[in-house]
Amino acid sequence: MEKVKCPLCGALDISKVTSEVRFGLKANVDRCNTCTLNFLDQDSFQYPKDFYEAEYHQTYLTHVEPASFDPKSYYDKMLRATAPWAERFRALLTGKEKVLDVGCSTGHFIELIKDKCAEVYGHDLNVKEVEFARDVLGLNVDNIELNQRFGEGSFDYITMIYVLEHIADPKSFLAYLRKFLKPGGKMVILVPNIQDPLVNLFDIPEFRTFYYCIEHLYYYNQKTMNDLFAQCGLAGEVQVLQEYPLANHLNWAYTRKPADTLAARRGVPGVDLALGVPHTDWEQLWRDINEVYKTFLYNHGYGDRLWAVVG
Ligand SMILES: [Zn+2]
């Protein structure tokens, strides 16, 4: 068998992280000891055929996210889950920009930004979701090759919200996408950060087998994300951010199981309060706790997301 090589730096000093991934599947996750990239050995498993076109949200993810089976219910949910990232992106917009959202799924991110863009387009492989975004929401979304729809130098921004970690060959993918940016245009990229406190601060084996999964081929940290961009001639800022609140981490620590997508993102523990207890004070307490917690995490080099703006 051929020795595994780091797909980012090419080094051969590789350690095994795990061979047990989400849903009881087997695939090797490795770590490059030279550049620190964690990655899934793409020769160690085989994607189901038409995975993204027909299976990913329809049969695979429904184990933890039943709403993903139906584009409308998934859209409703993701509209809320994606709102903080749309808000962050909206701060970059003036209203004159032409934007392409790659891996747009049901169009929830587009829906949240469209009133602040001159024009916005979406691309996705999932047939049911593309049809939903186009036919139900009326968005300009398609699954055909980008070069059949757009000329080079078309966009001010290309956004990828939880997409790049799924891409088998990110260097050629980014090089391809870059051609569609106007001079001075930027890519806005959100990916999970391997420096997630649930992976590296807490010792919760059940979380790790949930975290590593066949759809995530690359597990970037701030350094390896910057390394990738440098290799592609892209430059800009890569920020470490914490999305999930303390209540979600405690849920994992106590139950060893994931919570519902929206419940997990709520900063307040899911307990009913006795009659007459002031909700606003209780919610303010948890906002304060989460801010203190985030500061603690950032000071110790943790954060579950990487947000990059590069061009
Ligand atoms: Zn490496």
User: Taking the CA atoms of the chain, what radius of gyration do you get in angstroms?
Assistant: 20
Write down the pLDDT at residue 55: 73
Q: Beta-carbon neighbour count of residue 48 at 10 Å?
A: 12
Q: In the predicted model, what is the mean pLDDT of residues 134-151?
A: 97
Q: How far is the CA of 230 from the centre of ligand 1 (A)?
A: 14
Write down the pLDDT at residue 53: 77
Q: How far is the CA of 84 from the centre of ligand 1 (A)?
A: 32
Domains of the chain: 48-192 (3.40.50.150), 246-299 (no CATH)
pLDDT digits (tens, 9 = 90+) for 237-273: 999 999 999 999 999 999 998 888 777 888 888 888 9
Asked if 207 and 199 count as a contact pair (C-beta separation under 8 A), the reply is yes
pTM of the model: 0.92
Residue 213, classed as helix, strand or coil, is coil
Asked if 304 and 193 count as a contact pair (C-beta separation under 8 A), the reply is yes
Asked if 218 and 200 count as a contact pair (C-beta separation under 8 A), the reply is no
Q: How far is the CA of 9 from the centre of ligand 1 (A)?
A: 4
Write down the pLDDT at residue 305: 97
Which of 22-26, 64-68, 69-73 comes out lowest in average pLDDT?
Answer: 64-68
pLDDT at 48 over 80: no
Q: In the predicted model, what is the mean pLDDT of residues 46-66?
A: 74
Q: How far is the CA of 32 from the centre of ligand 1 (A)?
A: 5
Write down the pLDDT at residue 1: 58
157, 183, 181, 187: which is closest to 307 by C-alpha? 187
pLDDT digits (tens, 9 = 90+) for 114-133: 999 999 999 999 999 999 99
pLDDT digits (tens, 9 = 90+) for 202-227: 999 999 989 999 889 999 999 999 99
Q: How far is the CA of 227 from the centre of ligand 1 (A)?
A: 9
Q: How far is the CA of 80 from the centre of ligand 1 (A)?
A: 36
Q: In the predicted model, what is the mean pLDDT of residues 62-74?
A: 80
Q: How far is the CA of 185 from the centre of ligand 1 (A)?
A: 28
142, 162, 76, 149: which is closest to 112 by C-alpha? 76
Q: How far is the CA of 110 from the centre of ligand 1 (A)?
A: 34
pLDDT digits (tens, 9 = 90+) for 76-127: 999 999 999 999 999 999 999 999 999 999 999 999 999 999 999 999 999 9
Write down the pLDDT at residue 70: 86
Q: How far is the CA of 39 from the centre of ligand 1 (A)?
A: 9
Place of tokens 């996408």: 177
Structure tokens at 275: 């009659």
Q: Above pLDDT 90, what percent of the chain?
A: 81
Q: How far is the CA of 12 from the centre of ligand 1 (A)?
A: 8
Asked if 118 and 98 count as a contact pair (C-beta separation under 8 A), the reply is yes
Q: How far is the CA of 188 from the centre of ligand 1 (A)?
A: 24
Residue 265, classed as helix, strand or coil, is helix
Q: How far is the CA of 36 from the centre of ligand 1 (A)?
A: 6
